[in-house]
Structure 1
Amino acid sequence: MEHLAELDKKHFIHPTSSIQQQQANGPKVIMEKGEGIYLTDINGSEYMDAMSSLWNVNIGHGQDELAEAAAEQMKQLAFSSAFSTFSHEPAIRLAEKIASIAPDGLNAVFFTSGGSESNDSAIKLTRHYWRIQDQPERRKIIGLKRAYHGVAAASTSATGIKEFQEMAGEMMTGFVHTETPYEKTADEAIHDLRQTIETEGPDTVAAVMAEPIQGAGGVLIPPDDYLRQVRALCDEYGILFIADEVITGFGRTGKMFGVENFSITPDLMTFAKGVTSGYLPLGGVIVSDHVHEMLKEKSKGTLFHGFTYSGHPTAAAVGLKNIEIIERDGLVENAREMGGQMLRAFEKVQSELDIVGDVRAKGLLGAVELVQDPATNKRFSPDQQAAPKVIDQLHERGMICRPVSFEGTDIICFAPPLIINREQVHTMVEKLHDAVFAVQKELQVKG
């Protein structure tokens, strides 16, 4: 352990981590294996993975079928390029399968290696869509505040969380952000979106981009009619709508895709994470028939956009097997059922503890907010570190969870694997109750 920790400090720059904390304390934990909803570290300590690691291990850890699918494909054709119209069966079959389960009218897939690439690709395809129609001035992307779309150049620019934008300064121009219906009504948020479109000039706007449920921003679930109003506004102004399904896709919300909860169909829909349950990197963009028709008609010559691993045959084979398991084992339905149980358990915690404000869930994507006074929604000051303290308490109790502390909020996010059962949901929320109660006592004593 000590040798590995020293090697970690010397050679491994961790993503989305404190470099100073790593150098002072080494890695928080070194994982060795995973099975079901649990991870085990090199010391034998077991942790309930209440976040599916990074919102992505939808079918749980240690699924032999995915390892076997990868091995079989590697033995036959580990990799082959998809450039210059070269093709192979796994990518063709996966594109067909994704089209068959996507909302009606979304039938063509561009593959990437992950979510950031997917959202960058959707933005580039959108701008290309307008350029080939002799409208190159339509370049602006309107995103939402607190949105998270990734860390590549365009996806960072579309992200509405200032900490990610400030890391390296402004990446790209042509991105603006409007209000989200978090702590605002849907009508207020829609009014702000309309005003933004009018201020920027409708003829300069390429697309509105939004997550059906904002994940990294704090699992912010919009009112039922909000996204329908966004879709209507896009139609009114002739603007494309990009739905970021990187977190919400493949059963997470109790529907195969998050937009199905709100009865809308986007023009482009991005995905990653749950398509392979994280077993191999894979992502993509599903485009609507009318966008695809325009590309086929007017995109002359080579489409100068693509990644080495676009349509990776081994990743595609794993994606096919992963979707097969999701459908075969009824995991979308399980997410809906267990998500209902999780929300009811959250509400019980809310009724029993003094510092729990709003609780919410859609399928197995949920959150618990911590506030100093639930009656007035008065928040804790940032120096009190309410959410990080709860995360530490959960870690001590053998559970991995994620805090969101942007803009003064203290939110605990949950996204357990879709295979979770009733007993495990009960254990997960029981640990949450104990952890929040411990922090509540500490903060009330200090207060």
Structure 2
Amino acid sequence: MAKNKVDIEQLIEMDKKHFLHPTSAISDQQQFGPAFIFKKGKGIYLEDVNGKKLIDGMSSLWNVNVGHGRKKLAKAARKQMEKLAYSSCFATFSHEPAIYLAKKLAELTPHPLTATFFTSGGSEANETAYKLARHYWLLKGKPFKKKIISRKKSYHGVSIGATSATGLKEFRAFTKSLAPDFYFVNQFDTTALERFIEAEGPETIAAFISEPVQGAGGVHVAPENYFKEIREICTKYEILFITDEVITGFGRTGKWFGIEHYGVAPDMMCFAKGITSGYAQLGGVMISEELHHELIELSKGPLLHGYTYSGHPTACAVALKNIEMIEKEGLVKNARIRGEELLEGLNKLKKERKIVKAVRGLGLMAALDFKDEHKQKNVLFSPLVFKEAASRGLICRAVTLDGQDVIVLAPPLIINKKQIRKIVQILNDAIKAVENAHFH
């Protein structure tokens, strides 16, 4: 045991010295070290080096849809690695996994999305969508159509273009050198969008991008007719409509893709995360059949955009197996049913815990919004609940950006009814403990 304890201490020191963590407080990392050092996962659970088991109530980063420790995905990766681990897709080179995956995506996604450009993740996917939109309008002889409109409270990634499109000001404040021609409108105000388009001139606007459900910005679900109005506005003014399904894709909302809840189809769709359940790095952009045909007709040279790992054979093989598992195990339906149970449980919690202002969600994406009274003490409630829940065996997420105070959840799609109840119970106990410790 003593040797194991020394090993853990060494891991902590190595982490503090050598590992610069993404989206983490550098000062906290240096003072306290890593909050957890995980060594294995199984199903909806993660286990750290001390043997502590926690429910992964966030699917890690909204992405481990089929749960941890799925040997079928490891076998799919190994089989493909032994045959062809990697080869380039530049200069029209191709391979079977990318071809089969592109075909499968065309069958799954909202009509009429038919062609896919592969990336390594969500930020690259969004970046690609902006470049493709601007390139398309150049080919159409409309070079001034280059502005990208996004929504407040949106999150689209951390590469420079994706950051510039992100509607959470804290991300944009991280660097004051942002990409030009990105603009924001209120998140659910279609009138504001149309006014903005007319003020700027539709001849200057390339695309409008939106998450079907805003994820990292606090799980905000659009009103019923919002996206129908967005689709109409984009069509009216000749603006490409891009959906960011990086979080909402592959069953997360109780349908294969979040936009399907609203009965419209985008011109482009970005995806990542759930396509491999996090077992390999893969993302991409799908474009409509019409857009694809126009690019073919108008292009006179190479598409000068691509990543080394675009269409990575092993990642594509893992994605194919992951999609097969989601289909065979009925996980899209399970996300819908378990999501309804989660919302029901959280609404009951709201009645018990008066500090909870609102509950919202769609499928296995949910949020608890806290009241503002405690802010008079200059204390945000959600980070305290996050820590308390973790101590009780549940990983959730605190969202404090843009003046919010929210706890969000997105457990793996394999979760069962009993485990949903356990999540709600831990959250209830955690909120009660924080109330008693800090506000009574």
TM range (shorter): over 0.9
| Segments of 4+ moved more than 4 angstroms | none
CA, structure 1 residues 23+291, in 2 after alignment: closer, same or farther (shift >3 Å)? same
TM-score between both structures, scaled by the size of structure 1: 0.96
Q: Which blocks of at least 5 consecutive residues in structure 1 are unaligned?
A: 182-188, 374-378
Residues 1:145 and 1:80: Cα distance change in structure 2 (over 3 Å): same
SS in 2 for 1:84: helix
Separation (CA, whole Å) in 2 of partners of 1:8 and 1:329: 38
| Partner of residue 98 from structure 2, selected from 91, 97, 103 | 91
Match of 1:186 in 2: none
Unmatched 5+ residue regions in structure 2? Answer: 1-7
In the alignment of these two chains, the number of paired residues is: 433
One of 57, 63, 86 as aligned partner of 1:79: 86
Is 1:37 the counterpart of 2:32? The answer is no
1:248 matched to which residue of 2?
Answer: 248
Which moves more between the two structures, 399-408 or 120-129?
Answer: 399-408
Counterpart of 1:418? 413
Equivalent-residue separation in structure 2 for 1:236 and 1:136 (angstroms): 19
Residue 17 of structure 2 is matched in structure 1 by 10
Taking the aligned partners of 1:134 and 1:315, their CA distance within structure 2 comes to 37
Q: Distance in 1 between matches of 2:239 and 2:130?
A: 13
Match of 1:366 in 2: 366
* SS of structure 2 residue aligned to 1:111: strand
Equivalent position SS for 1:380 = helix
Alignment-derived partner of residue 184 in structure 1:
none
How far is 1:439 from its partner?
1.6
Distance 1:416 1:20 in 2: 29
8 A contact 2:64–2:278 mirrored in 1: yes
Of 100, 110, 133, which residue of structure 1 is paired with 2:140? 133
Q: Which residue of 1 aligns with 2:304?
A: 304
In the alignment, what sits opposite 1:405?
400
Stretch moving more, 29-38 or 403-412 = 403-412
| Map of 2:114 onto structure 1 | 107
State whether residues 9 and 22 of structure 1, in contact with CA within 8 Å, keep that contact through their aligned partners in structure 2: yes
| Partner SS, residue 14 of structure 2 | helix
SS of aligned partner of 1:395: helix
Displacement of 1:423: 0.3
Distance 1:298 1:258 in 2: 31
Q: Write the distance in 2 (CA, Å) between the matches of 1:396 and 1:169.
A: 37
Tell whether the 8 Å contact from 2:114 to 2:289 is kept in structure 1 after alignment. Answer: yes
2:223 aligned counterpart, secondary structure = coil
Once the 2 structures are TM-superposed, how far is the Cα of residue 361 of structure 1 from its aligned partner? 1.6
Which residue of 404, 421, 432 corresponds with 1:437?
A: 432
For the aligned residues, what is the CA RMSD? 1.0
State whether residues 220 and 361 of structure 2, in contact with CA within 8 Å, keep that contact through their aligned partners in structure 1: no
Aligned to 2:294: 294
Alpha-carbon distance between aligned partners in 2 of 1:53 and 1:33, rounded to the nearest angstrom:
13
2:219 maps to a residue whose letter is: V
CA change 1:295–1:394 in 2 (3 A) is same
Q: CA deviation at 1:443?
A: 3.8
**Quick check: 160-169 or 321-330, which moved more?**
160-169
Contact conserved, 1:381 with 1:408, CA < 8 A, in 2?
no
Kept after mapping to 2: 8 A contact 1:106/1:288: yes
Task: Tell whether the 8 Å contact from 1:156 to 1:164 is kept in structure 2 after alignment.
Answer: yes
Q: Which residue of 2 aligns with 1:174?
A: 181
Per the TM alignment, residue 206 of structure 1 is displaced from its structure 2 partner at its CA by 0.3
3-state DSSP of counterpart to 2:378? helix
Task: Give the Å deviation of 1:380.
Answer: 2.9
Distance 1:171 1:76 in 2: 42
Shift of 1:323: 0.1
- Report matched runs for 1:228-307 at 5 Å: 228-307=228-307
The question of whether the paired residues in 2 share the 8 Å contact of 1:382 and 1:408 is answered with no
How many angstroms does 1:246 deviate by? Answer: 0.1
Equivalents in 2 of 1:68, 1:52: separation in Å? 21
Distance 1:226 1:126 in 2: 22
Q: Indicate how the Cα distance of structure 1 residues 112 and 382 shifts in structure 2: closer, same or farther if over 3 A, else same.
A: farther
Match of 1:158 among 165, 175, 194: 165
Q: Report sequence identity in percent.
A: 52
Query: 1:387 is matched with which residue: 378, 382, 387?
Result: 382
Q: Tell me, yes or no, if the aligned pair for 1:341 and 1:422 is still in contact at 8 Å.
A: yes
Give 1:33 shift. Answer: 0.2
Which residue in the other structure is 2:5 paired with? none
Letter in 1 for 2:218: G
Q: After TM superposition, give the deviation of residue 126 of structure 1 in Å.
A: 0.4
User: What SS does the aligned partner of 1:138 have?
Assistant: coil
Other-structure match for 1:19: 26
Deviation (angstroms), 1:381 = 4.8
The answer to whether structure 1 residue 339 and structure 2 residue 356 are counterparts is no
**Higher deviation after alignment, 431-440 or 61-70:** 431-440
1:376 matched residue in structure 2: none
Aligned equivalents of 1:93, 1:133: Cα separation in 2: 31
Q: TM-score, normalised by structure 2?
A: 0.97
The 8 Å contact of residues 170 and 402 in structure 2, kept in 1 or not, is answered as no
Paired AA for residue 286 in structure 2: I
Aligned twin of 2:391: 396
Query: What do the CA deviations read for 1:424-446 (whole angstroms, capped 9, x no partner)?
Result: 0000010010111112223432x
CA deviations over 1:124-166 (Å, ceiling 9, x no partner): 0000010001111000000000100000111111001111111
1: CA distance, partners of 2:140 / 2:148: 17
My pick for the range that moved more, 272-281 or 408-417, is 408-417
Matched AA of 1:422: K
Return the alpha-carbon distance in structure 2 between the equivalents of residues 411 and 316 of structure 1. Answer: 35
Q: Output the CA distance in 2 between the equivalents of 1:275 and 1:62.
A: 16
Q: What is the Cα deviation at residue 382 of structure 1?
A: 8.2
Corresponding position of 2:152: 145
Distance 1:227 1:317 in 2: 33
